[in-house]
């Protein structure tokens, strides 16, 4: 599907005009209008009306045709003030719209003008269709198109640039839309007080302090403050549609243009509606078409005038989501002048599902865009062919609509602005690229479409579907922090605790397929009031994609204050200086302090241990977690804790290795308490026959099986009045897998028995030095069915017996009174959970999710938020089951809580 880039040089001179007989079937034009480009021999040409029955250019041949066809007026397509400001202007100094009575046939008038040597070219004022289809569900609020095009990854590098200016040559724009305000272009030549405000009230476009009905910037268009409406066709619009006079209000009854420009650059990160692909961008409102009873149309003369006007004001990106079968010299000249002036142009391929070339998509130096759905399947309606440059999502695309609304539309009209937005986003990351370099980088880094579209000729699929992240990957690395580590701390346990100082190191990776990181500077900072960072700067010498490196600096220290009662997770900000003005900001988690309780996940990745973490979290216990799949547990680590919950799930071999048993014996001899859960431990001969089983757990195998109903022992300090059913609900679901019968020996006490046979199911022991509680059944399967107890209650009973203290906040910092953060709900969750943030005043809110190694796995929010109650949603669809740290900061005040995803 990949093909060699071949674009023709800009064509600034007109091509041969079509004779009347050669206009293709289906071509439509306005009656009573003709576009005529006069030769230089005619002299100066300006707009004029017939006065006293006469209209003259002082040229015999021309004036004769004016008389013959009762020409009513000639009007320049682009005033001199616009053309003078264009870096490269088209041949349009004598390009006019010739208006005449509609009783004359347009093609007859056309042929007459083409016979004159004084006419360079002439053509009808064509009407071109907008390329959208009927709206879909207006409540559809997902933007899969942005995900597919790699925007979230690209947004890590840039949200766009207000230095970039984009225009949609289209059927108007609903400029009062609140999701557009911050990005609206303001004409600096008309902004007399230079305050940059686009309008004073939402019923008139402009700042009242600047509007004066004067052409302050000298472009021939008075008060084009935020926009210009180039439509003056006189008739043909639906009732209420403005078609008569050009003015500075670009609104239309049609939502097409608003939808298109919103896809490119609607304001993002503002808690309103949707986000544009490039949501920090200057968007230029305009109008070059109108709504007819048969749908939206764009007028050739208005489109060319709009392009020239936008280029004169420095536009960088031009989208054209319309088309027709006719090649227009007028439009082509404007397009080539725009390209030569440095603009990047995209156009929709068309919605007929054919391979026929449509225009402006077919002009050279225009990126022709077809439509796919979010599964990368080419839409049935999308035109395709060898002239199509690339594809972008164009199905179920959510964007702006009139009357401050939103709508979801299908069409190549939606695909083209998606591609335009990608070009804008990549350009904001690499602002020194010219339009040709930008075009090549994006097109050469598209995602291949051939496999999913085997029924389409590969040569019709262009370079593929645009991907902003992939375009960036060819020039920049994608770095993330895999883990943080502390060394040289006072007690040498690798964990910062109160009044300790240690050296901070980072493990950093570069995503596979991304550009090498060479000479990248790394700076780590923190707004945690308990931590002081000094000299935390590092350098990545050379890190290829798919590789990782340990970053160390002997002078990079972190000092912990005294206000650390127990453990919490602190969020560090890591900034990578990629060079040439490009930066990448990540967060990393650093566990600070030690909890009293440790949950050891020894279930071989089956996630049963997460149920115990959930139980502790729900009851406010401060705890740490460790997985035996990550690294061996050391005696130094284990001795830091008072209580350990060790979960083996369904494992029945190598459940507790000799090394594990030795660690636990040392831990318990030093006063540590153990809660051990696993129905397969009693079936592991290495464990059952060990001194640890009899002398520390004070248990012997009962040699039988239990059942799924378990009762506490009357009068027992832990289980009195307790009853469990190991089935039902949303818990472990493994209660019927080999529940073991246990006998108590040498002072052990059976404290749960099976209802089916009254034999022991759990044994506890207390010798004054340590306490143990061993469960031979799947405690995590007890879900409170039929009025019985939930496993969470049993965990609390055991920890109360151990003497563990609950109710300690995971984050030691007191939350200021000017905001409140709720616990995540539901927790555990699958696949989503929500956190409520209540703000007393506008604040900056950043919320991130980290795995237990401290790696950032999701950015939930990073934006300024207005006062009020707001909901942040955690989306776990793409994450594996497990525990995560949710970090929410409000104006640099940090709150961290644990959330658990159970799938």
pLDDT average, residue stretch 326-350: 97
pLDDT at res. 845: 84
Asked if 227 and 197 touch (Cβ cutoff 8 Å), the reply is no
Higher pLDDT, residue 145 or 440: 440
pLDDT at res. 508: 97
pLDDT at res. 16: 45
Q: What mean pLDDT value characterizes the chain?
A: 90
pLDDT at res. 265: 94
Asked if 74 and 35 touch (Cβ cutoff 8 Å), the reply is no
Asked if 849 and 812 touch (Cβ cutoff 8 Å), the reply is no
Select from 525, 569, 577, 520 the least CA-distant residue to 549: 520
pTM for the whole thing? 0.80
Read off the pLDDT band of 404 (50, 70, 90): very high
Asked whether the predicted pLDDT for residue 435 surpasses 80, the reply is yes
pLDDT at res. 854: 61
User: Which of 358-372, 575-589, 796-810 comes out lowest in average pLDDT?
Assistant: 796-810
pLDDT at res. 140: 30
Answer yes or no: 216 catalytic. Answer: yes
pLDDT at res. 146: 84
d(CA 222, CA 778): 79
Asked if 484 and 504 touch (Cβ cutoff 8 Å), the reply is yes
pLDDT at res. 566: 78
Read off the pLDDT band of 811 (50, 70, 90): very low
pLDDT at res. 774: 99
Select from 801, 813, 708 the least CA-distant residue to 751: 801
User: Which of 245-254, 618-627, 677-686 comes out lowest in average pLDDT?
Assistant: 618-627
d(CA 400, CA 257): 9
Read off the pLDDT band of 838 (50, 70, 90): confident
Alpha carbons within 13 angstroms on the beta-carbon side of residue 440 total 10
Answer yes or no: 413 catalytic. Answer: yes
Give the number of other Cβ atoms within 10 Å of residue 605's Cβ. Answer: 14
Active-site annotation holder among 216, 242, 447, 637: 216
How many angstroms separate the Cα of 319 from the Cα of each of 148, 262, 422?
Answer: 20, 12, 12
pLDDT at res. 507: 96
| Residue range 694-719, pLDDT digits in tens | 999 999 999 889 999 999 999 999 99
Asked whether the predicted pLDDT for residue 2 surpasses 60, the reply is no
Computed from CA positions of residues 792, 797, 803, 806, in that sequence, does the dihedral angle turn out positive or negative? positive
| Residue range 762-776, pLDDT digits in tens | 999 999 999 999 999
How many angstroms separate the Cα of 673 from the Cα of each of 632, 670, 772?
Answer: 20, 9, 6
Distance of CA 399 to the CA centre of its chain: 15
Active-site annotation holder among 99, 158, 301, 413: 413
d(CA 844, CA 821): 14
pLDDT at res. 886: 87
Asked whether the predicted pLDDT for residue 563 surpasses 90, the reply is no
d(CA 485, CA 854): 10
Domains of the chain and CATH, by start? 20-128 (3.30.70), 130-186+225-473 (3.40.50.200), 187-224 (no CATH), 479-549+556-592 (2.60.40.10), 597-802 (3.40.50.880), 819-901 (2.60.40.1930)
d(CA 684, CA 703): 12
pLDDT at res. 814: 39
d(CA 605, CA 648): 10
What order do you get walking across the sheet with 568-579 strand by strand?
Answer: 537-543, 517-525, 568-579, 582-592
Active-site annotation holder among 125, 158, 249, 256: 256
Q: What percent of the chain has pLDDT over 70?
A: 93
DSSP state of 359: B
Answer yes or no: 832 catalytic. Answer: no
Hey, what long-range contacts does 439-443 have (CB within 8 A, 24 or more apart)?
Answer: 439/5, 439/7, 439/344, 439/367, 440/5, 441/471, 441/474, 441/475, 442/390, 442/466, 442/468, 442/471, 443/5, 443/367, 443/389, 443/390
Read off the pLDDT band of 805 (50, 70, 90): confident
Q: To which H or E segment does residue 588 belong?
A: strand 582-592
DSSP 45-69: ---EE-BTTB---S-HHHHHHHHHT
pLDDT average, residue stretch 640-665: 95
pLDDT average, residue stretch 32-44: 95
Asked whether the predicted pLDDT for residue 802 surpasses 80, the reply is yes
Asked whether the predicted pLDDT for residue 602 surpasses 50, the reply is yes
pLDDT average, residue stretch 394-401: 93
| Helical residues (DSSP H) of 444-545, grouped into ranges | 468-473
pLDDT at res. 141: 45
Read off the pLDDT band of 900 (50, 70, 90): confident
Asked if 484 and 476 touch (Cβ cutoff 8 Å), the reply is no
Read off the pLDDT band of 564 (50, 70, 90): confident
Asked whether the predicted pLDDT for residue 36 surpasses 90, the reply is yes
How many angstroms separate the Cα of 3 from the Cα of each of 181, 217, 349, 387, 408?
Answer: 40, 44, 18, 11, 33
pLDDT average, residue stretch 103-117: 95
pLDDT average, residue stretch 627-634: 89
Asked if 756 and 762 touch (Cβ cutoff 8 Å), the reply is no
pLDDT average, residue stretch 242-270: 93
């Amino acid at each position: 599907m990949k093909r060699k880039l071949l674009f023709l040089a800009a064509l600034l001179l007109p091509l041969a005009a079509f004779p009347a007989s050669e206009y293709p079937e289906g071509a439509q034009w306005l009656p009573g209008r003709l576009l005529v480009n006069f030769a230089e021999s005619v002299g100066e040409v300006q707009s004029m009306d017939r006065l006293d029955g006469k209209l003259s250019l002082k040229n015999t041949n021309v004036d004769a045709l004016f008389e013959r066809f009762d020409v009513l007026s000639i009007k320049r397509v682009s005033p001199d003030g616009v053309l003078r400001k264009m870096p490269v202007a088209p041949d349009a100094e004598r390009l006019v719209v010739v208006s005449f009575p509609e009783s004359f046939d347009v093609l007859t008038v056309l042929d007459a003008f083409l016979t004159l040597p004084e006419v360079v070219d002439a053509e009808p004022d064509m009407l071109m269709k907008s390329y959208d289809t009927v709206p879909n569900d207006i409540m559809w609020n997902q933007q899969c198109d942005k995900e597919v095009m790699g925007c979230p990854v690209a947004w890590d590098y840039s949200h766009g640039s207000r230095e970039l200016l984009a225009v949609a040559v289209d059927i108007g724009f609903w400029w009062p839309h609140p999701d557009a305000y911050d990005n609206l272009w303001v004409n600096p030549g008309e902004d007399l007080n230079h305050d940059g405000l686009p309008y004073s009230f939402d019923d008139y476009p402009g700042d009242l302090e600047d509007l004066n009905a004067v052409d302050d910037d000298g472009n021939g268009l008075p008060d084009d403050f935020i926009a210009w409406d180039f439509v003056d066709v006189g008739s043909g619009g639906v009732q209420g549609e403005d078609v008569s006079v050009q003015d500075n209000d670009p609104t239309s009854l049609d939502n097409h243009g608003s939808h298109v420009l919103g896809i490119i650059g609607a304001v993002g990160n503002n808690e309103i509606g949707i986000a544009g692909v490039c949501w920090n961008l200057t968007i230029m409102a305009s109008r070059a078409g109108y709504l007819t009873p048969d749908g939206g149309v764009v007028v050739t003369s208005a489109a060319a005038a709009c392009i020239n006007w936008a280029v004169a004001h420095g536009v960088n990106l031009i989208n054209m989501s319309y088309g027709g079968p006719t090649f227009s010299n007028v439009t082509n000249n404007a397009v080539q002048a725009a390209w030569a002036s440095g603009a990047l142009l995209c156009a929709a391929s068309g919605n007929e599902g054919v391979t026929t070339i449509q225009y402006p998509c077919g002009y050279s130096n225009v990126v022709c865009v077809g439509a796919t759905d979010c599964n990368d399947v080419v839409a049935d309606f999308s035109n395709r062919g060898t002239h199509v440059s690339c594809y972008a999502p164009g199905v179920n695309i959510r964007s702006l609509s009139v009357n401050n609304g939103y709508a979801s539309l299908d069409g190549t009209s939606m695909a083209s602005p998606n591609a335009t937005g990608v070009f804008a986003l990549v350009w904001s990351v690499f602002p020194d690229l010219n339009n040709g370099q930008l075009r090549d980088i994006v097109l050469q880094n598209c995602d291949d479409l051939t496999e999913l579209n085997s029924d389409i000729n590969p040569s019709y699929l262009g370079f593929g579907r645009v991907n902003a992240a992939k375009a960036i990957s060819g020039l920049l690395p994608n770095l993330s922090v895999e883990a943080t580590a502390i060394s040289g701390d006072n007690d040498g346990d690798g964990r910062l605790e109160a009044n300790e100082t240690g050296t901070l190191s980072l493990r950093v990776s570069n995503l596979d397929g991304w550009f090498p990181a060479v000479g990248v500077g790394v700076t780590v900072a923190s707004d945690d009031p308990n931590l002081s960072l000094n000299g935390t700067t590092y350098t990545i010498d050379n890190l290829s994609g798919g590789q990782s490196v340990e970053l160390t600096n002997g002078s990079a220290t972190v000092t912990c204050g005294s206000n650390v009662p127990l453990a919490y997770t602190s969020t560090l900000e890591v900034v990578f200086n990629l060079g040439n003005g490009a930066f990448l900001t990540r967060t990393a988690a650093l566990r600070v302090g030690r909890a009293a309780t440790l949950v050891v996940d020894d279930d071989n990745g089956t996630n049963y241990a997460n149920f115990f973490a959930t139980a502790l979290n729900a009851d406010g216990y401060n705890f740490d977690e460790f997985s035996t799949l990550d690294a061996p547990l050391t005696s130094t680590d284990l001795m830091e804790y008072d209580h350990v919950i060790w979960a083996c799930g369904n494992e029945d071999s190598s459940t507790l290795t000799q090394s594990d048993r030795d660690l636990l014996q040392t831990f318990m001899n030093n006063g540590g308490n153990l809660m051990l859960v696993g129905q397969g431990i009693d079936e592991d001969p290495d464990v059952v026959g060990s001194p640890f089983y009899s002398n520390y757990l004070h248990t012997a195998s009962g040699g039988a099986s239990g059942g799924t109903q378990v009762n506490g022992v009357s009068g027992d300090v832990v289980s009195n009045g307790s009853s469990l059913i190991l089935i039902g609900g949303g818990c472990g679901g493994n209660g019927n897998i080999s529940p073991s019968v246990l006998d108590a020996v040498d002072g052990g006490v059976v404290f749960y028995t099976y209802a089916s046979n009254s034999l022991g199911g759990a044994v506890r022991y207390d010798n004054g030095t340590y306490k143990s509680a061993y469960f031979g059944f799947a405690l995590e399967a007890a879900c409170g069915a039929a009025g019985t107890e939930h496993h969470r209650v049993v965990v609390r009973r055991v920890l109360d017996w151990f003497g563990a203290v609950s109710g300690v906040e995971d984050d030691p910092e007191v939350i200021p009174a000017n905001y409140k953060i709720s616990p995540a709900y539901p927790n555990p969750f699958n696949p989503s959970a929500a956190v409520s943030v209540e703000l007393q005043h506008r604040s900056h809110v950043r919320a991130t999710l980290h795995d237990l190694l401290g790696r950032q796995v999701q950015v939930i929010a990073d934006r300024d938020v207005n006062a009020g109650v707001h909901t942040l949603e955690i989306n776990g669809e793409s994450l594996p089951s497990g525990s995560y740290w949710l970090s929410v900061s409000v104006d640099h005040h940090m709150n961290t809580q644990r959330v658990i995803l159970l799938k």
